[in-house]
Chain A
Amino acid sequence: MEGNILIVDDDDIVVKSCDSVLAPEGFTITGTTDSSKAIELIRDNDYDIVITDLNMPGIDGFELIRQINALKPSTGIVVITGFTSQQNIKDILQLGIIDYISKPFSPHTLLETILKATYLIKKIKALSTAEPDTEPDAKKKTEALNNIIDEYKSVPGSLLRVLESAQDLIGYLPPSVQRFIANGLRIPVSEVYSVVSFYPYFTMKARGKHHIRVCVGNACHAKKSGQILTRLKRNLNFNEDNITADGKFSFETVRCLGACGFAPIVEIDYDTHGAVDPDKTLDILKDYH
């Protein structure tokens, strides 16, 4: 597997042994025994995974993790630790890491964990590149989200409104945003998730620049909306998340948009197109750049 990995441990033997296990698997490995050097490396390079010890002289693992989260939040962190009591592990996991390995560990455990972590982090990165957030932009959005939460914090039953506004702001509702909202409204994350997953309007995946809704309700079905769908799929190459590779279009099917006398209906962004001739489906898209 490919992946750029940094190993930080004050014990040189650990760094070397990790290197000898992971390098033959195709990973690119950098190792250091100095945690302040590690911070520089992280600032200047893009690592998929940082493997770090917790007990280190100078900047310890906890501080390092905090710094990584601030500098490069999309880096996956795997912790090597000697403490394995329940409480300790809980504390460590709360720092926002992907996984941990307890000492002593076998080469097999190391490899398994790192493979899994790399796989995960690549998935997460793929999602976040669909939404290229520049730093100041992200800050502005956080602020806006905070404002929304403040506005509705004391209004009972306003969760749906907050989620709607948040989705409007960010485009979708990834787990991090759901957690943020739950914290802000002082309700359990599970409650936020239960609402997000229930309503079809909410999406946990990024959408394309233009979002296409094809009605497959029975009036539209009777007017061949199925063929519209087939044509879209055949010509636009959607991936498994229903987005095109260039991020321009995404689609979903909906049931009844209430304009049955004008079936079949295709909605793109906020425009309603009615009586769509399946043969001319692609023509409608021309106006969306």
Chain B
Amino acid sequence: MPAIKVRATDRSIKKLTIEDLKIIREKYKDPRTIGTKASILVCGGSACAARGSLKIQENLSGELEKKGISSSEVSVYETGCNGFCNQSPVINVYPDMTLYQAFKPEDVPAIVDEHFIKGQPADRFVYKDIKEKKSIPNRQDIPFFSLQTRRVLNKSGLIQPDDIEAYIFHNGYTGLVRAVTAMKPQEIVKEIKDSGLRGRGGGGFPTGLKWEISMNRPDHTKYVICNAGPISRSIIENDPHSIIEGMIIAGRAIGAAKGFIYVREPDNLFILRRLHTAIERARGCGFLGDNIFDSGFDFTIDVSFGAGTFICGEETALIRSMEGKRGFPTPKPPYPAQSGLWGRPTIVDNAETFANVPLIIANGQAWFRSVGTHSSPGTKIFTLGGAVNLNGLIEIPMGTTFRSIVYEIGGGLKKKSTLKAVHIGGPTGGVIPESLIDTPATYEDITAAGVIVGSGNLIIMDNNTCMVNEALGAMEFGHGESCGKCVPCRIGTKVMYDKLLDITEGRGKLEDIDMLAELAFEVKRTTLCGLGQTSPIMVLTAIKYFREEFETHIKDHWCQAGKCRTLSTFVIEPKTCTGCGSCARKCPQGAISGEKKKPHLIDQALCIQCRSCFETCPFVSIRIEPSVAEEVDSW
């Protein structure tokens, strides 16, 4: 990784006292109020940056000047990600928070003209309700935002994540002050325990319990590690100080003086720069270093790198990797909380877990429990993707149903598609079918449905998804990422992969289904670490909920979704084909012919089952039928 340069702080930094924090909160000039008339908050998250947020800022300033609007009237301010990434680029105009989305840098003059000269929202670029196509100009009225409960992400899109004073202004480091000046370590642990906070890294282990184990160890040296795999990217990007604050509080609670933020991908410069800047500034203000708030408590944080590979997200493998070894997991017990990095008690927690800690300490456990369910209190961040209209980053109270996530927050399914399943838990997760869509998103309910919360990744799958193919993909991941240490994971996943490949290519037998289910169960039961215990989940849930799909693949040589190439034939339905020719234009093989306005025909000898005609046809006139190949190789 190239050297990271840290920009010097805009304001001079010095060790702050509690008094100073109060003064900052009073005196801080909220950048949003710098413009006397309005402020334009330009999203500088990575998605928006990729869509030209810098250029947009430039154009905005230029255009405002051209129109004779001074920067003291309307100011331009860059913020962190809004979580509305699919609609990027995004800008908000404070104070109304008019949200403009999905425009081009060239559209800036039109927006400035309508909004500031004509004095009304530039309708072309505001968000439109999906069903009724009604404009919803203000951010807080858009269901995607209004239905979320943003606690960890509460500043997302509103502040510049590098700005430590903005973080302080929004009540940042209040939790830390309370933890180091007014609470004993036991009280901190008790507060976290009472809050019922559960690890957001996937397992859902009670965080307070883990801390207690570490706290009670007599060792002098202990460590705090933040597991910042790719799934934590969004929080680091948006609010690095909340993680740092949470880690310092954890250090105080268990009696550790050293923390590490373990970043799995050493080449993610955006993240590294943000982390280094945040750590540097926290140190400058005296939140890190010696004698924090004159309490006699010392704590420092370093960034530590992995070198890719999924398995290093598993806590014991992560620790081995930090020790400079191969990232092989080790059996538990001993848990890292008892004996972790260099054999010392170590707590490994997810970034989102840490980000919740300052909120709990500052606002109390009762506040934390005020949303969510009894055994899964608080909120959880999910990334929403797949066939829903709105993709992005969402934070919801635990217990919200998947129906609400898909249809309300996500704006329902895309045109021409219907919901088939929700894939939960990231690469090692599994699916729940449409019939279980009313399942609440809690640790217990998700586990009861046979899947895991995992990385909090939701992929909405529509009727174009082939579950056998998805299971195949999961096993490709499973055997590709297996560290190779234990046999069931290394070989079991490969055997399952081969069997699934047979089925998708027409060589499957009916008894393979039971064999797969049994093997998946055994791999899950007997492997050493969380990877092998979760990677078969996709196979298990696919068979559990979509068994008939496996059967049609095997018996009828028919992949109804048309994803398994050898098991599908694309046919044009002559009754509904209008002969518009759009499929013929898209076909890369030139396999579709026909006269204009007359039903077309697909030449099966040329067809490569690429699906492009199926996806193009505006009249849903293309059917997917069983494979026509008479003899499918049966070896």
A interface with B by C-beta (< 8 Å): 156-161, 163-164, 168, 194-195, 198-202, 217-219, 221-223, 254-263, 270-275
> Which chain B residues in 255-314 approach chain A with CB under 8 Å?
265-270, 305-310
Say yes or no: A218 contacts B473, CB within 8 Å. Answer: yes
Residue B138, interface by CB 8 Å? no
Q: How far is the CA of A13 from the CA of B556 in the complex (A)?
A: 75
Say yes or no: A159 contacts B474, CB within 8 Å. Answer: no
Determine, out of B26-34, B204-212, B215-223, B321-329, the stretch whose residues face the partner at the interface.
B321-329
User: Can you spell out 8 A-B residue pairs with CB atoms less than 8 angstroms apart?
Assistant: A156-B324, A198-B327, A201-B308, A202-B307, A222-B465, A256-B231, A259-B230, A261-B85
A223 touches which one: B321, B385, B393 (CB < 8 A)?
A: B385
With known contacts A219-B385, A275-B86, A199–B265 Cβ distance under 8 A = no
Say yes or no: B86 contacts A160, CB within 8 Å. Answer: no
Rounded to whole Å, the gap between the CB of A237 and the closest CB of chain B is 19
Q: How far is the CA of A275 from the CA of B50 in the complex (A)?
A: 10
The residue among A159, A218, A254, A255 with the most chain B CB atoms within 10 A of its own CB is A218
Q: How far is the CA of A154 from the CA of B393 in the complex (A)?
A: 43
- Report the nearest B residue to A226, measured CB to CB: B473
Q: In the complex, which residues of chain B have a beta carbon less than 8 angstroms from the beta carbon of A256?
A: 230-231, 310, 426-427
Q: In the complex, which residues of chain B have a beta carbon less than 8 angstroms from the beta carbon of A263?
A: 385, 391
> Which chain B residues in 325-348 approach chain A with CB under 8 Å?
325-327, 342
Q: In the complex, which residues of chain B have a beta carbon less than 8 angstroms from the beta carbon of A221?
A: 473
Rounded to whole Å, the gap between the CB of B489 and the closest CB of chain A is 15
Say yes or no: A255 contacts B477, CB within 8 Å. Answer: yes
Rounded to whole Å, the gap between the CB of B526 and the closest CB of chain A is 23
- Report the nearest A residue to B386, measured CB to CB: A222
Rounded to whole Å, the gap between the CB of A106 and the closest CB of chain B is 43
With known contacts A160-B324, A255-B480, A272–B308 Cβ distance under 8 A = no
Q: How far is the CA of A6 from the CA of B88 in the complex (A)?
A: 64
Q: How far is the CA of A138 from the CA of B481 in the complex (A)?
A: 35
Q: In the complex, which residues of chain B have a beta carbon less than 8 angstroms from the beta carbon of A157?
A: 322-325, 342
B233 touches which one: A199, A201, A259 (CB < 8 A)?
A: A259
With known contacts A157-B322, A160-B324, A202-B307, A274–B459 Cβ distance under 8 A = no
Q: In the complex, which residues of chain A have a beta carbon less than 8 angstroms from the beta carbon of B266?
A: 164, 201
Q: In the complex, which residues of chain B have a beta carbon less than 8 angstroms from the beta carbon of A259?
A: 46-47, 85, 230, 233
Q: In the complex, which residues of chain A have a beta carbon less than 8 angstroms from the beta carbon of B306?
A: 160, 199, 201
Say yes or no: B309 contacts A198, CB within 8 Å. Answer: yes
Say yes or no: B427 contacts A200, CB within 8 Å. Answer: no
Q: Number of B interface residues at 8 Å Cβ cutoff, please give it.
A: 57
Say yes or no: B393 contacts A261, CB within 8 Å. Answer: yes
Q: How far is the CA of A270 from the CA of B483 in the complex (A)?
A: 27
Q: How far is the CA of A195 from the CA of B326 in the complex (A)?
A: 5
Q: In the complex, which residues of chain B have a beta carbon less than 8 angstroms from the beta carbon of A168?
A: 1-2
Say yes or no: B86 contacts A218, CB within 8 Å. Answer: no
Say yes or no: A222 contacts B385, CB within 8 Å. Answer: yes
Q: How far is the CA of A161 from the CA of B231 in the complex (A)?
A: 22
Say yes or no: A262 contacts B47, CB within 8 Å. Answer: yes
Say yes or no: A261 contacts B392, CB within 8 Å. Answer: yes
Q: In the complex, which residues of chain B have a beta carbon less than 8 angstroms from the beta carbon of A194?
A: 326
Rounded to whole Å, the gap between the CB of A159 and the closest CB of chain B is 4
B307 touches which one: A164, A217, A254, A261 (CB < 8 A)?
A: A164
B477 touches which one: A159, A202, A218 (CB < 8 A)?
A: A218
Q: In the complex, which residues of chain A have a beta carbon less than 8 angstroms from the beta carbon of B324?
A: 156-161, 195
Rounded to whole Å, the gap between the CB of A207 and the closest CB of chain B is 12
B interface with A by C-beta (< 8 Å): 1-2, 46-47, 50, 83, 85-86, 88, 229-234, 265-270, 305-310, 321-327, 342, 383-387, 391-393, 423, 426-427, 457, 459, 461, 465, 470, 473-474, 477, 480-481, 483
Q: How far is the CA of A221 from the CA of B269 in the complex (A)?
A: 24
Q: How far is the CA of A274 from the CA of B88 in the complex (A)?
A: 10
The residue among A194, A262, A270 with the most chain B CB atoms within 10 A of its own CB is A262
Q: In the complex, which residues of chain B have a beta carbon less than 8 angstroms from the beta carbon of A271?
A: 50
B385 touches which one: A161, A195, A260 (CB < 8 A)?
A: A260
Say yes or no: A262 contacts B391, CB within 8 Å. Answer: yes
Rounded to whole Å, the gap between the CB of B104 and the closest CB of chain A is 14
Q: How far is the CA of A6 from the CA of B325 in the complex (A)?
A: 44
Say yes or no: A195 contacts B325, CB within 8 Å. Answer: yes
Say yes or no: A217 contacts B427, CB within 8 Å. Answer: yes
A161 touches which one: B305, B308, B325 (CB < 8 A)?
A: B305
Q: In the complex, which residues of chain B have a beta carbon less than 8 angstroms from the beta carbon of A159?
A: 324-325
Q: How far is the CA of A197 from the CA of B39 in the complex (A)?
A: 51
What 10 A-B pairs are tightest by C-beta distance, nearest first? A258-B230, A199-B307, A201-B307, A159-B324, A157-B324, A258-B233, A201-B308, A200-B308, A157-B323, A260-B383
Q: How far is the CA of A138 from the CA of B309 in the complex (A)?
A: 31
Say yes or no: B50 contacts A272, CB within 8 Å. Answer: yes
Q: In the complex, which residues of chain B have a beta carbon less than 8 angstroms from the beta carbon of A160?
A: 305-307, 321, 324
Q: How far is the CA of A164 from the CA of B324 in the complex (A)?
A: 11
- Report the nearest B residue to A195, measured CB to CB: B326
- Report the nearest A residue to B47, measured CB to CB: A262
Q: In the complex, which residues of chain A have a beta carbon less than 8 angstroms from the beta carbon of B391?
A: 261-263
Q: In the complex, which residues of chain A have a beta carbon less than 8 angstroms from the beta carbon of B267?
A: 201, 270
B423 touches which one: A198, A199, A218 (CB < 8 A)?
A: A218
Say yes or no: A200 contacts B385, CB within 8 Å. Answer: no
Rounded to whole Å, the gap between the CB of B381 and the closest CB of chain A is 11
Q: How far is the CA of A263 from the CA of B426 in the complex (A)?
A: 13
Say yes or no: A262 contacts B86, CB within 8 Å. Answer: yes
Say yes or no: B232 contacts A258, CB within 8 Å. Answer: yes
Rounded to whole Å, the gap between the CB of A216 and the closest CB of chain B is 9
Say yes or no: B459 contacts A219, CB within 8 Å. Answer: yes
Say yes or no: B307 contacts A274, CB within 8 Å. Answer: no
Say yes or no: B270 contacts A156, CB within 8 Å. Answer: no
Given A160-B307, A258-B232, 20 more A-B residue pairs with CB atoms under 8 Å apart are A157-B323, A159-B325, A160-B305, A164-B307, A168-B1, A199-B309, A200-B307, A200-B309, A218-B426, A222-B461, A222-B465, A256-B426, A257-B265, A258-B231, A258-B233, A259-B85, A259-B233, A263-B385, A271-B50, A275-B47
Q: In the complex, which residues of chain A have a beta carbon less than 8 angstroms from the beta carbon of B270?
A: 272
Q: How far is the CA of A198 from the CA of B306 in the complex (A)?
A: 11
Q: How far is the CA of A218 from the CA of B266 in the complex (A)?
A: 22
Say yes or no: A262 contacts B85, CB within 8 Å. Answer: yes
- Report the nearest B residue to A227, measured CB to CB: B610
Q: How far is the CA of A274 from the CA of B473 in the complex (A)?
A: 21
Say yes or no: B459 contacts A164, CB within 8 Å. Answer: no
Q: In the complex, which residues of chain A have a beta carbon less than 8 angstroms from the beta carbon of B384?
A: 261
Rounded to whole Å, the gap between the CB of B497 and the closest CB of chain A is 15
A274 touches which one: B46, B309, B326, B483 (CB < 8 A)?
A: B46
Say yes or no: B426 contacts A156, CB within 8 Å. Answer: no
Say yes or no: A219 contacts B50, CB within 8 Å. Answer: no
Q: How far is the CA of A164 from the CA of B459 in the complex (A)?
A: 33
Q: In the complex, which residues of chain B have a beta carbon less than 8 angstroms from the beta carbon of A262?
A: 46-47, 85-86, 88, 391
Rounded to whole Å, the gap between the CB of A80 and the closest CB of chain B is 41
Q: In the complex, which residues of chain B have a beta carbon less than 8 angstroms from the beta carbon of A254?
A: 308
Say yes or no: B265 contacts A261, CB within 8 Å. Answer: no
Rounded to whole Å, the gap between the CB of A48 and the closest CB of chain B is 35
Rounded to whole Å, the gap between the CB of B539 and the closest CB of chain A is 14
Q: In the complex, which residues of chain A have a beta carbon less than 8 angstroms from the beta carbon of B323?
A: 156-157
Q: How far is the CA of A194 from the CA of B326 in the complex (A)?
A: 7
- Report the nearest B residue to A159, measured CB to CB: B324
Q: How far is the CA of A59 from the CA of B50 in the complex (A)?
A: 63
Q: In the complex, which residues of chain A have a beta carbon less than 8 angstroms from the beta carbon of B461?
A: 222
Rounded to whole Å, the gap between the CB of B87 and the closest CB of chain A is 10
Q: In the complex, which residues of chain B have a beta carbon less than 8 angstroms from the beta carbon of A260?
A: 383, 385, 457, 459
